[in-house]
Chain A
Amino acid sequence: MEENSNNDIIVTENVKKVYSENGVPVHAVKGIDLTISSGEFTAIVGPSGSGKTTFLNIISGLDDVTEGKVWLNGKLISSMKSRELSDFRRDNIGFIFQAYNLIPVLTAEENIEYIMLLQGVPKEERHERVVKMLEEVGLKGMENRIPTKLSGGQQQRVAIARAMVSRPTIILADEPTANLDSKTGAELLDMMRHLNERTGMTFVFSTHDNMVMERARRLITLKDGQVESDEMRN
């Protein structure tokens, strides 16, 4: 397997994606070359149909490429098989979804623990990490609640904890604040920024939200499936 061993977490090389919609080819991504380094807090922005979601799906291995190559944490994921990709995602990527997407029958604690169970982390270590994470995201005392007994903000906190607790290489967040009120959204973004600074974990957002853009240290704007601008900020 091809490997890329420098400090770059994500490297894409001439990535293209063509969908077929009712027999009509749709060029969603038109050759993106991009590098995201370890510890970045990056937002991919752009209008609807700009290809940001498709691009995020591709760099997470959820969608395949029509052409080009994608390396994540030095591994060429664009040529991995389904099971290999599952294991790779489990160990390297933390996901935060717009709709939280927690497992509805598991409690907050069990949701956070789930990926570690798949990874085979020993019970005591799992418990230790979950307790620590619950405290970190401000959910201490709510560990036994199932998702429907939590507010949107609390559910998203569980999702953040779930994404981070397995210590992935990168966190990919798709519109994480879209379903939250602005106050809760801001609180969560500040928390993620703080976690990024404290742990050095890489965050990549796909968003429309100005609050995310304001806090991002790098802003990549997509338009018509191509990078329109790539701006580093302080």
Chain B
Amino acid sequence: MVTLKIAFRNTLRQKRRTILTALTMLVGFILASVSIGWAGGTYSHVIDMFTRNRIGHIQIHAKGYMGKPSLHKSISQDRPVFEKIKNQKGIESWTSRVYSVGLASLKEKTGGIQITGIDVDKEVKTTNFDKKITQGRNLSKDSYKEALIGKGLSKILLADVGDDVIVISQGADGSIANDIYTVVGITDSGNEEADRTGFYIDLSDAQNLLVLGKRIHEIVIVCTDLDKVKKITNTLKSELAEYDLEVSPWQETAKSFYNAMQADLQGMWLMIFVIVLIIAVQVLNSVLMSVLERTREYGVLKAVGTRPFQVFKLVIFEVSIIAVASVLIGSLLSTFINHLLSVYGINLSEPFSYGGIEFNKLSSQVSARSVYLPAIIVILSSAGISVIPAIRAARTVAAKAMRSI
């Protein structure tokens, strides 16, 4: 207790040095906290935008569909799978899709298409699909033989809203599937490749065309909390184990996107490492100077019977007291900064696009992680680096330090 008392008073005694050391820690804390908050906010935003564009947070397919998609690898809508999804906590919404390929013709023009059958109502709740429509309108609720086509495909077919397009594909029963659909809108997802083949029709129209009955190829789920995606995936995996399905989180369905995000996150850790290094060097410098200046004091303490470990603790306590004070002040300041950045964000002068999605504003995130992680970093790096001067202080040879008793 007396060691703590001396340590505390010593921090008040060398005010200028204490303030300088505390400022280093404070700035380091705020930088680390804002970096973590910013990274968290930005990545959450980017991931949310990306996943809500099409892939969702979790996808469910028939076993083997992901590796080798096939018209026949489908899930029956009659199965209790959907009940289980409905009852699962943490799910915001979900939708079903069917996929196939075919040919679309309008007058003399023909193009290859990716047929996507969507449940319009659920799709709108689950993804930003309706926001990609640049011309015309979305498929109507009880749409019958309506279609939305990609911007690229509309150029290939020279199709416009109101045109009738002939579609030829193959039915699940081996028959030739063909029908005529009226273009009601044109979509621009930002992904040119997808837009060159994009052909969206109502789920039941697609099931009729492809002779799928009540079968679908994909269930797309969006969770309320991005951080709980893995947990919900695992729960669904175990709950749906008997149905021979594949449940995949977005990290698997969009592997390259996930890897790019992870690689980008490494940059944040590098920045935090640099912050730790700066704090450590400044704290080491400050504490070493202090220890050198007070060699005589340590000599006296040891002469009168203070154990080396108590002298060691004294130095560590002094630094820790400054670090804790910096963390407390830093927590308030950084939370305030992160809050401002999360509310107002920063508008980008030049938007950037990723995976066909355009981002023109980035924002931060207030989270426990953006406080406890920098707190641990600042306190541990400060106390850790102080071990060197603390050992030096503890090893002070009393007779030498005082020159004479």
Residues of A participating in the B interface, judged by any CB pair closer than 8 Å: 53, 56-57, 60, 62-63, 82-83, 86-87, 89-91, 93, 95, 97-98, 101, 103-106, 110, 114-115, 117-119, 162, 172, 174-175, 206
Q: Name the one of A56, A82, A98, A115 contacting B304, with C-beta atoms under 8 angstroms.
A: A115
Assess whether A62 is in contact with B307, with CB atoms less than 8 Å apart.
Answer: no
Whether the pair B305, A86 counts as a contact (CB closer than 8 A) is yes
Given contacts A86-B308, A103-B6, contact A97 B302 (CB under 8 A): no
**Once bound together, how far apart are the Cα atoms of A83 and B305, in whole Å?**
9
Chain B residues, Cβ within 8 Å of A172: 405
Query: Do the beta carbons of B13 and A95 come within 8 Å of each other?
Result: no
Knowing A105-B10, A172-B405, say if A82 contacts B305 (CB, 8 Å): no
Q: Look across to chain B and name the residue whose beta carbon is closest to the beta carbon of A119.
A: B305
**Given the complex of chains A and B, what is the CA–CA distance between A114 and B306 in angstroms?**
10
Q: Which residue of B lies closest to A64 (CB)?
A: B399
Give complex CA distance A53, B399 in Å. 10
The 6 A-B pairs at the shortest CB distance, nearest first, are namely A90-B305, A105-B9, A62-B399, A101-B300, A53-B404, A63-B399
Residues of chain B whose beta carbon lies under 8 Å from any beta carbon of chain A? 1-2, 5-6, 9-10, 12-13, 296-297, 300-308, 310, 398-399, 402, 404-405
Task: Say yes or no: A91 contacts B305, CB within 8 Å.
Answer: yes
Number of residue pairs across A and B with beta carbons under 8 Å? 80
Tell which of B297, B399, B402, B404 touches A103, judged by Cβ atoms closer than 8 Å: B297
Smallest CB separation, B354 vs chain A (Å): 57
Are B9 and A89 interface neighbours, CB within 8 A? no
Chain B interface helix/strand/loop/mixed: helix
Residue contact B404 to A174, C-beta cutoff 8 Å:
yes
Let me know if B307 and A53 touch, CB within 8 A.
Answer: no
CB contact under 8 A between A60 and B405, given known A97-B300, A101-B296: yes
Contact of A118 among B5, B9, B306 (CB under 8 A): B306
Asked if B2 and A56 make an inter-chain contact with CB atoms under 8 angstroms apart, the answer reads no
Among A83, A95, A118, contact of B405 (Cβ-Cβ < 8 Å): A95
CB nearest neighbor in A for B294 = A104
Cβ A57 vs Cβ B399 within 8 A: yes
Q: Give A118 to B10 CA distance when docked, in angstroms.
A: 19
A82 close to B297 (CB less than 8 A): no
Q: Within the complex, what minimum Cβ distance (angstroms) separates A151 from chain B?
A: 20
Give CA–CA (A101, B300) in the complex, Å: 7
